[in-house]
Amino acid sequence: MPHPELAMLVRGYNGYFESSSRPVRRRELPSGEVALIISLGPQWRLIDPATEVSAGTLRTFVAGLDDTYSLVESEIPGAAIQVDFTPIGARQLLQLPMHLVSKRTVALTDLLGSQADRLVEQLAEAADWHTRFLSLDKFLLSRIRRYRRSTREIDWAWRQLDLSRGSVRVQKISEQLGWTRKRLVRAFRDEIGIPPKVLARVLRFRKALAEFDFQTIVDFSLLAAESGYSDQAHMIRDFKNFSGLTPAELIRVYSPDAGTIES
């Protein structure tokens, strides 16, 4: 877990080592969070979902908010760290308009310059995982404490969507703020990265995904109702949009720990 001061900004740290005798391809699904992947050795190949050809490689990068899936392939065994930021936390880390990283994966050096290189070097040379996580605390706190928060209304609006898992109406949020819908969308573009309605749909999708029972056959009609969809067909459309798969297809390959492994 991150430092308590980061509790509303960082969901958690994950350190892991991955090894395989053949390339592993994962289908990365929209999460409503911004991921920072710090390589301690391996690199990842980005695959274009439409053509399934390589779209370049990255080592340490930020994956912004998205409304569709991406394909990532790894080959070389090695260790890495993943830091899952809330959109508000990512804004305070990067200190730039979040639409610049939404629907993209961007090398951390392109965003933070030499600070990124020093961080990766420090984490790679650390003696153990505990030391690495303490170093992450120190780095993130040093940046976030300097950040001047400009839109507390957006912090509040994001929390309403997050706590309700996308079930609260965007119109209701606008009315409570006394803002027009256009103003809210514009502010979300800068502070969050994607429109509030899109984020609400992603959060609702993740809520449904979290309800998957891997030991029994899921009643998809009940799942749709409990997750806030108007009906099962509505849920299936969102699953296809966000994952490229129907709920029945996704449940066969998805794992909360490993994600969705293609091969």
CATH number, residue 106: 2.60.120
Round to whole Å and give the CA distance between 160 and 3.
24
Is residue 31 located within the same domain as residue 66?
Answer: yes
Would you state the pLDDT for residue 258?
A: 66
Would you state the pLDDT for residue 254?
A: 83
Is residue 20 located within the same domain as residue 120?
Answer: yes
> Is 53 inside any structural domain?
yes
Which of 156, 195, 166 has the alpha carbon at shortest distance from 66?
A: 195
Q: How many domains does the chain have?
A: 2
> Is 262 inside any structural domain?
no
Would you state the pLDDT for residue 53?
A: 85
Domain end, chosen from 144, 169, 189, is at 144
Is residue 42 located within the same domain as residue 125?
Answer: yes
Query: Cβ distance 66 to 30 under 8 Å?
Result: yes
Is residue 10 located within the same domain as residue 140?
Answer: yes
Which of 220, 206, 216 has the alpha carbon at shortest distance from 248?
A: 220
Domain end, chosen from 122, 144, 166, is at 144
Would you state the pLDDT for residue 170?
A: 96
Would you state the pLDDT for residue 147?
A: 78
Q: Where are the alpha helices (DSSP H) in 60-180?
A: 87-94, 108-112, 114-125, 129-144, 152-164, 170-177
Would you state the pLDDT for residue 257?
A: 67
Would you state the pLDDT for residue 141?
A: 96
Which of 200, 258, 26, 221 has the alpha carbon at shortest distance from 247?
A: 221
Q: Model's pTM, two decimal places?
A: 0.91
Domain end, chosen from 124, 144, 164, is at 144
Would you state the pLDDT for residue 216?
A: 61
> Is 261 inside any structural domain?
no
Would you state the pLDDT for residue 108?
A: 96
Which residues touch 238 (CB under 8 Å, ≥6 apart)? 201, 204, 205, 229
**Mean pLDDT for each 10-residue chunk of the chain (263 residues)?**
94 89 88 95 87 88 95 85 96 94 95 95 95 96 82 93 95 96 96 97 94 71 90 95 92 76 69
Strand partners of residue 34 = 85
Q: pLDDT tens-digit profile of 83-105?
A: 999 999 999 999 999 999 999 99
> Is 211 inside any structural domain?
yes
Would you state the pLDDT for residue 215?
A: 53
Round to whole Å and give the CA distance between 45 and 25.
9
Is residue 203 located within the same domain as residue 125?
Answer: no
> Is 263 inside any structural domain?
no
Query: Cβ distance 20 to 44 under 8 Å?
Result: no
Which of 58, 142, 155, 51 has the alpha carbon at shortest distance from 93?
A: 142
Burial 200-217 (b: 16+ CB within 10 A, else e): bbbbbbbbbbeeeeeeee
Would you state the pLDDT for residue 52?
A: 84
Domain residues for the domain of 225 are: 152-256
Query: Cβ distance 32 to 65 under 8 Å?
Result: yes
Would you state the pLDDT for residue 217?
A: 62
Would you state the pLDDT for residue 214?
A: 60
> Is 112 inside any structural domain?
yes
